[in-house]
Amino acid sequence: MRIEAVVVNASPLITLFRSGQADLLPRLFSRVIVPDAVWREVTVDEWDDAAARDLGVQPWPIRVDVATSAQVEAWNLGAGETAVLSHALAHSPMRAIIDDADARRCARTLGIPLLGTGGLLVLAKRRGVLPSVTEGIEKLRNAGLWLSDDLVDLLKAQALE
């Protein structure tokens, strides 16, 4: 099943903007949902980076207010993770783009489809949007996203590189 709509957490947004790869989101998906809690986290006034400056001027993010799910709230995640997973749970089969380990465990337990920031690059290669994931992975790492060598090897293998 082709992924058309996603709901994105703060960390993927921040690292995608910092690495100059945020344009992958509207190129891959027809709807990119950003919950209010995530929007506020990314654009707080103290931040002076690409994500804080650029999120609000992009035409593609759809900002939404999210009613949180009691099932998700029980996991005691951050406000952004809770909003992302609550929205995805209420709007199945929407995919959640999230990297936080606890939030990913919650999503798997609740049956919420996931995509990580690294997996986004693999999808972009598979759809012909990127010629290779290797450069994108390095950009993500340089932007502050920690990716283990084993995960990098897995992403490259999934991208047939």
Please report, for the chain, the start and end positions of each structural domain, with discontinuous segments joined by +: 5-158
Can you give the pTM of this predicted structure?
0.92
Per-residue tens of pLDDT for the chain, all 161 residues: 688 999 999 999 999 999 999 999 999 999 999 999 999 999 886 667 778 888 888 999 999 999 999 999 999 999 999 999 999 999 988 999 999 999 999 999 999 999 999 999 999 999 999 999 999 999 999 999 999 999 999 999 999 99
CB within 8 A of 148, min separation 6: which ones? Answer: none
CATH number of 5-158: 3.40.50.1010
Distance, CA of 137 to CA of 122 (rounded, Å) = 10
